[in-house]
């Protein structure tokens, strides 16, 4: 939880530093803007919450996604219909839900730890670094 909190703080700081006129500029990663990546992180944190809740109820974790690229393409398409404030709000809401779901375990199983790790703090770290690099030199990382 500490690492998630640190990664979250770094992500929030870099996202807040993006000037309004650059939030929708593609190229943070090819074809994606900062707003798109914020929405992307929100979607995956929401997915983590859903999976963690299933595991906590004793249901089997879903099979790993066969086509993560297709899922990311769906997320990107959905982000194109959002505004900045909605993306940032959704990210904060889904992050809070994922943390609560993970904290509800007395002794989280490996599947819960892995899902939380992959879809929250590792994801935040990855995309915060890309946004930071984009802001520093204007080029995709």
pTM of the predicted model, to two decimals? 0.92
Task: Domain ranges for the chain, please list them.
Answer: 2-12+26-137
The pLDDT score that the predictor gives to residue 137 is 79
pLDDT tens track for 35-91: 999 999 999 999 999 999 999 999 987 777 667 888 899 999 999 999 999 999 999
The pLDDT score that the predictor gives to residue 65 is 65
The pLDDT score that the predictor gives to residue 67 is 78
Question: Measured between alpha carbons, how far is 58 from 61 in angstroms, rounded to an integer?
Answer: 9
Q: How high is the mean pLDDT of the chain?
A: 93
Contact 56, 111 (CB under 8 A): no
Q: Which residue has the higher pLDDT, 119 or 65?
A: 119
Q: 138 pLDDT band (50/70/90 cuts)?
A: low
* pLDDT at residue 122 is higher than 90: yes
The pLDDT score that the predictor gives to residue 29 is 94
């Amino acid at each position: 939880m500490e690492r998630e909190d640190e990664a979250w703080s770094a992500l929030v700081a870099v996202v807040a530093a993006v000037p309004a006129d650059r939030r929708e500029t593609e190229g943070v990663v090819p074809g994606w803007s900062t707003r798109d990546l914020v929405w992307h992180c929100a979607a995956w944190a929401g997915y983590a919450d859903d999976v963690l809740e299933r595991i906590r109820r004793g249901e089997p974790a879903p099979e790993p996604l066969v086509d993560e690229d297709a899922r990311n393409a769906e997320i990107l398409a959905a982000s194109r219909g959002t505004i900045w404030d909605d993306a940032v709000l959704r990210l904060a809401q889904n992050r809070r839900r994922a943390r609560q779901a993970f904290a509800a375990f007395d002794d989280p199983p490996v599947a819960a730890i892995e899902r939380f790790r992959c879809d929250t703090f590792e994801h935040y770290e990855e995309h915060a670094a890309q946004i930071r690099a984009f802001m520093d030199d204007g080029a995709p990382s």
